[in-house]
Amino acid sequence: MVTKIGLTGGIGSGKSVISRLLRIMGIPVYDSDTEAKRIIATDHTVRRQLSALVGQDLFRNGELNRSLLAAYLFGKPDHAEGVNRIVHPRVKEDFVRWTSSYEGKKSLVAMEAAILLEAGFKSEVDFVVMVYAPPEVRIARAMKRDGSSREQVVARIHSQMSDELKRERADFVITNDGETPLIPQVLELISLLSENNHYLCSAKK
């Protein structure tokens, strides 16, 4: 039976860094941002539904107008709901297929998703790990990485669940504030999950 870790945290918290550490330790990670983009680029039903929602210029010459989708999605909460209602069920199905391909081969896999809790992906994983970094650290990291403005990053933060709510719903919290060593926290997580201790709430910080 494959144990599925749900890795979440707000923009710039460091999920991708933790994912890289997990992959180095031989744990496959499903990157929901990447896979959602693949699904939007290749699933004709999803493309048709998104075009009907956002407008016919969402796809030009078959290519997604990413900035238009971002502006629409992060513009208003009901816009995000409309896009998510189309995309997330497909991502969930795809993750289930991806996980089943590891049955009998891997004991641990992970799903990285900034909106794991908001998108209802929690039902597809066995444990939720939140990556925490202070908001200002996250904003600075995302601005530096993406060349985004502070306003753009803050708008995306506001479209995601608060850290307080995520912390309440997580089974583990990994602190990635740039000062707390990361690798010992990841190793503790893996050793706990590998022993299949299902009374893990005590590990919650």
Ligand X SMILES: Nc1ncnc2c1ncn2[C@@H]1O[C@H](COP(=O)(O)OP(=O)(O)OP(=O)(O)O)[C@@H](O)[C@H]1O
Ligand Y SMILES: CC(C)(COP(=O)(O)OP(=O)(O)OC[C@H]1O[C@@H](n2cnc3c(N)ncnc32)[C@H](O)[C@@H]1O)[C@@H](O)C(=O)NCCC(=O)NCCS
Binding residue ranges for ATP = 12-17
Binders in 12-41 for ligand Y, by CB under 6 A = 32-33, 36-37, 40
Counting Cα atoms < 13 Å in the Cβ hemisphere of 124 gives 28
Stretch of 14-22, 66-74, 120-128, 197-205 lying at the interface with ligand X (CB under 6 A): 14-22
Among 54, 91, 125, 139, binds ligand Y (CB under 6 A): 91
- Rounded CA Rg of the chain: 17
- For the bound state, the minimum distance from the C-beta of residue 28 to ligand Y, rounded and expressed in Å, comes to 17
Beta carbon of residue 187, minimum distance to ligand Y (angstroms, whole number): 25
Collapse the DSSP code of 48 into the 3-class scheme (helix H, G, I; strand E, B; otherwise coil) and give the result.
Answer: helix
From the list ligand Y, ligand X, none, partner contacted by residue 141 (C-beta under 5 to 8 A by kind)? ligand X
Does 50 participate in binding ligand Y (rule CB under 6 A)?
no
**Distance of alpha carbon 23 from alpha carbon 192, whole angstroms:** 17
* 113 is an interface residue for ligand Y by CB under 6 A: yes
Residue 105 burial (CB count, 10 A): 9
Residue that is written with structure tokens 């959602």 in the block:
36
Residues 6+ apart with CB under 8 A from 166: 8, 9, 10, 117, 130
Please give the residue ranges that form the binding site for ligand X (CB under 6 A): 9, 11-17, 114, 141-142, 145, 176, 178
